[in-house]
Structure 1
Amino acid sequence: MSFYIQKSILPFGFIFLYGSGFIFTQYGLQNSSPMAFLGIRFFIAFWILLFIAYFLKVPIPKSKKEFFQIALAGSLTVGTFSIGVFLSISYGVSGALNALIIALQPIIVTFLAQRFLDEEINKRVWLGLIIGFIGVSFVVVSKLDTSFDSVLGVFWSIVALLGLSFGSLYQKKYCTGMNLYSGGAIQTLSSTILVIPFLFFEELHINWNGEFLIALFYMAVGVSIGALSLLYIMIKNGEVSKVSSIFYLVPVSAAIVSYFLLGEKMELNVIIGIITVIIGITLINKKDNR
């Protein structure tokens, strides 16, 4: 049963929460400046996690070094990633396209995991990664334009991609023993601090309406706590390269939620890209024949 949960329920739960998070970000930014939205989201998640950690009396980091490592992993995986995505969407890059760019993460993580974590990557996994990359690239290239805002938005998407990639590797190497609640509180706090300087470079505004509150609640609880907890559990229990491969399916979730929530059309090139990605995922996670 635990094997079934680890291999099926956790990945699909993560895919749904993480993918839909891109769309709820786009939804929330219709009523708020990006860093104000992000800072409040992190602050709420921090207090919820801190309360849970205190109530359950979970272990806390035993040394300054462990505390720093957890904070650094969070600043990359949570802070840098989220800042990049929020700024990218604020420059007009859609949540669905952001999810597609972030879905290039498996290529970067697999290459780095082979170099720094000594993970063995066979030819079938590389073939699956390449096919997935082609599927993602097919959609990304077709949706790009050459306007300054679009280029700047894609730049911030790439910043988010690099933060998530290096953060996942750092999390695997140094923070696999991290408690989800006390460690999560540290990581959301460090991410909150990372957001503060960006607040001075934007015109702060928030419309406290129902749409914004729904987006804020979903991002603070569903993504900052739910999705990231699932990601850390999967990183702890599996090879980081194979865990990262499920990011290829995040755009599928984003596209579906975008269709129902924002009314964005499911174009043919997106469908072709999604099918190609699924083929790549199947190759990556196919069991070796012994």
Structure 2
Amino acid sequence: MLLSMKTLALPIVFIFLYGSGFVFTAFGLENSSPMAFLALRFFIAFFILLIIASVLRVQWPNTLLEFVHISTAGLLTVGVFSIGVFLSISFGISASLSALIIALQPIIVTFLAVKLLGEKFNMKILIGLLLGILGVAFVVSSKVGGSSSQILGIVFSIIALLGLSFGNIYQKKYCSNMNLYSGGAIQTLSSTILVVPILLFFEDINITFNGDFLIALVYMSVGVSIGALSLLYVMIEKGEVSKVSSVFYMMPVCAALISYFLFDIDIDITMFIGIFAVLVGILLINKK
């Protein structure tokens, strides 16, 4: 019973932390340019993880190849994904719509896992995936606009989706035994290095250090970059990556709910229909 509660608690906490990250990204971008916000977030997370790894004297990669694998997984899962989401939202895509696009991740991951990791695929999983798509479509149906100004934002969300999907597969294949603290420090550092050239050469840097921005920065640095990603890696290590990815269907649901409580955005009947379809889809994918 205790084991079942622990197994259930991991995805629930992950969903809350990761899903709310879309909302706090939008919150922080009201006072900062995207890459400046992201560079600060990555550096703070790196510094904290480095201190924890040093104090606990955890194991670091033994070989250069192991270091490269961890860095590559981090560049995809952390770097490319975060850059895509931040730029997407900065171009006017709502947190819910960005989360919806990322929620398509289970489809990509499931087929990649079948091809590259030899995981099983059956009709039950297919139906669950389709129900999940239907559910997230209902959740954000009222928030999707046809404005041409959203096209670039949608493209960046798709880039984020691909980075996260390939990064999860790479993490499962090459970095399942990675230490969360030393590996996390390496991944956030490599992601910082990826962001810096974009920040220096392609962005008009501006930051307003007020209370709202600091709240968003601390939450994204500690809650998401350390907390949520650590939970994701634990779930990937312990389970099939295709089934772990199914929890991403809850991202737009979580983002929409938190947007409601923080910004008073109404929840209509489509929200409840979507939540029901999402939960049924996840149940089908994960049911043994």
TM-score calculated relative to the size of structure 2: 0.96
Q: Which residue of 2 aligns with 1:125?
A: 125
Q: Distance in 2 between matches of 1:128 and 1:234?
A: 19
Q: Output the CA distance in 2 between the equivalents of 1:26 and 1:143.
A: 15
The alpha-carbon deviation at position 274 of structure 1 amounts to 2.2
Contact 1:144–1:150, Cα closer than 8 Å, also in 2: no
**Alpha-carbon distance in structure 2 between the residues aligned to 1:5 and 1:53:** 28
Tell me which residue corresponds to 2:95: 95
The residue number in structure 1 matching 2:192 is: 192
- How far 1:177 sits from its partner (Å)? 0.8
State how 1:251-270 maps to structure 2 within 5 Å: 251-270=252-271
**How far has the Cα of 1:175 moved from its partner?**
0.1
Identity %: 64
1:13 equivalent in structure 2: 13
Once the two structures are TM-superposed, the CA of residue 143 in structure 1 deviates from its matched residue by: 3.1
Residue 274 of structure 2: aligned partner: 273
Q: Which residue of 1 aligns with 2:76?
A: 76
Moved more, 94-103 or 177-186: 94-103
- Separation in 1, partners of 2:34, 2:264: 22
Contact 1:83 1:195 in 2 (8 A): yes
Deviations 1:163-205 (Å, cap 9, x if unpaired)? 0000000000000010000000000001001111221212111
Q: Which residue of 2 aligns with 1:4?
A: 4
Relative distance call for 1:76 and 1:208 in structure 2 (3 A) is same
Amino acid aligned to 2:77: T
User: Residue 14 of structure 1 aligns to which amino acid in structure 2?
Assistant: F
Aligned CA RMSD, in angstroms, stands at 1.3
Q: How many pairs were matched up?
A: 287
Q: Deviations over 1:122-166 (max 9, x none)?
A: 221111111111222344565333323211111111100000000
CA distance in 2, matches of 1:268, 1:142: 11
Partners of 2:147 and 2:69 in 1: how far apart?
A: 39
After TM superposition, the structure 1 stretch with the greater mean CA deviation from structure 2, 78-87 or 262-271, is: 262-271
Q: Distance in 2 between matches of 1:252 and 1:144?
A: 15
Check whether the contact 2:250–2:278 (CA below 8 A) recurs between aligned residues.
yes
Q: Are 2:182 and 1:182 aligned?
A: yes
CA distance in 1, matches of 2:242, 2:84: 22
CA deviation vs aligned residue, 1:25-78 (integer Å, no higher than 9, x gap): 010001100100000000000000000000000000001100000000000000
Q: Distance in 2 between matches of 1:239 and 1:74?
A: 19
Match of 1:231 in 2: 232
Larger deviation, residues 196-205 vs 219-228: 196-205
Matches within 5 A, 1:22-61: 22-61=22-61
**For the residues of structure 1 that align with 2:154 and 2:272, how far apart are their CA atoms?**
21
Q: Distance in 1 between matches of 2:50 and 2:148?
A: 41
Contact 2:27/2:213 (CA < 8 Å) preserved in 1? yes
Post-superposition Cα deviations, 1:204-255, rounded to whole Å, max 9, x if no partner, equal: 1111000000000000000000000000000000000000001111222111
State the SS of the aligned residue for 1:234: helix
- Contact 2:96–2:140, Cα closer than 8 Å, also in 1: no
Distance in 2 of aligned mates of 1:194 and 1:108: 24
The answer (yes or no) to whether the contact 1:101–1:140 under 8 Å persists in 2 is no
Query: Secondary structure in 1 aligned to 2:120?
Result: coil
Partner residue, 1:203 = 204
Q: Distance in 1 between matches of 2:235 and 2:139?
A: 27
Asked if the contact 1:6–1:234 (Cα under 8 Å) also holds between the matched residues in 2, the reply is: no
Segments of structure 2 that go 5 or more residues without pairing to the other structure are: none
Per-residue deviation, residues 71-94 of structure 1 (Å, max 9, x unmatched): 000000000000000000001111
Task: For structure 1, list consecutive stretches of 5 or more residues without a partner in the other structure.
Answer: none
Name the CA distance, whole Å, in 2 between partners of 1:5 and 1:267: 31
Aligned-residue offset at 1:265: 1.7
Counterpart of 1:248 in structure 2 is 249
One-letter amino acid of the structure 2 residue matched with residue 86 of structure 1: F
153 and 127 in structure 1: CA distance in 2 versus 1, 3 angstrom threshold: same
Q: Aligned AA for 2:150?
A: S
- Secondary structure at the aligned position of 1:112 is classed as helix
